[in-house]
Amino acid sequence: MIVDGKALAEKIKAELKADVSKLNKKIRLAVVKISSDAATEKFLEQKRKFAEAIGVDVRIYEIHPDISTNKLREKVSEIVHIKENNGVIVQLPLPPQINTQYILDAIVPEKDPDMLSSKSWGAFAAGSARRRTKILPPVAGAVKAVFDEHKVEIRDRNAVVIGAGRLVGKPLATWLLNAGATVSVIHRGTKNPEEYTRKADIIISGVGKPKLITPVMVKDGVVAIDCGTSESPPGAGQASRQVVGDIDPGVSEKASLFAPVPGGVGPVTVAMLFKNLVELSK
């Protein structure tokens, strides 16, 4: 079974549109934008389109990339304090001179749909029962939505997360652990990755390395979720670079469920960002 992330995102979009119109107030997402490479523009365009479709405003705050960490922190604090901004996100990555976590920590949990501030992260990791923790980091919310849709059991299953990054590996490992899985996090330093992947019931990869996971590395019936993205050079007859994931598409033949890149978890992650925003705006 191949996950149709676009269809799932459309379903969530329709629900959110109804929610927003019931709320009967203007919701606005503030986006702090510093870099302006093609990838950033593309992600931003996806968010802008989604927002428009559900009736949410997006306000872009463009910042010059030469800014200092302290100035940027002040600026983000100002943006957070503007009453009309219901949520604030910072487009990553930030320029190298910036202390990224310090900037993200300027976003209060009540306005943090990306859940990247230390406080949001801690509340999520601790599994606290307070309101702001009803939401999940968007990538975890997206995988949860996929698992709910396809009735994937998590409790007591062996899960392997590939990559220990702040945006994908860590939140997914934490979420799987809180949901009762046995969780192994492996990465480039792991000497025997196959020993982990071959016995995994669930594999989630978020590295950004094409064909990192091949069919021989997984067992029959695995749930394989690709959250990695990288660009491969254009192939024969292709005009432009292709977005590819970490998991060789051949894995789909052994998998009971396969979420590919593109078209799997990605569109759902955008939807979950807005689901968080709407939840925080209630």
- Closer residue to its own copies in complex, CB, 117/281: 117
Least distance between its own copies and beta carbon 162 (Å): 11
Positions touching its own copies (CB under 8 A) are 99, 101-102, 105, 117-123, 125-130, 155-156, 158, 164, 166, 170, 173-174, 177, 180, 182-187, 189-192, 195-196, 199
Residue-wise DSSP of the chain: -B--HHHHHHHHHHHHHHHHHHHTS--EEEEEE----HHHHHHHHHHHHHHHHHT-EEEEEE--TT--HHHHHHHHHHHHH-TT-SEEEEPSPPPTTS-HHHHHTTS-GGG-TT--SHHHHHHHHHT--SGGGGS--HHHHHHHHHHHHTT---TT-EEEEE---TTTHHHHHHHHHHTT-EEEEE-TT-S-HHHHHTT-SEEEE-S--TT-B-GGGS-TT-EEEE---EEEPP-TT--S-EEE-SB-GGGGGT-SEEE-TTTSHHHHHHHHHHHHHHHHH-
Least distance between its own copies and beta carbon 150 (Å): 21
Least distance between its own copies and beta carbon 182 (Å): 4
- Closer residue to its own copies in complex, CB, 24/192: 192
Least distance between its own copies and beta carbon 9 (Å): 28
- Closer residue to its own copies in complex, CB, 118/238: 118
Least distance between its own copies and beta carbon 67 (Å): 18
- Closer residue to its own copies in complex, CB, 156/253: 156
- Closer residue to its own copies in complex, CB, 66/156: 156
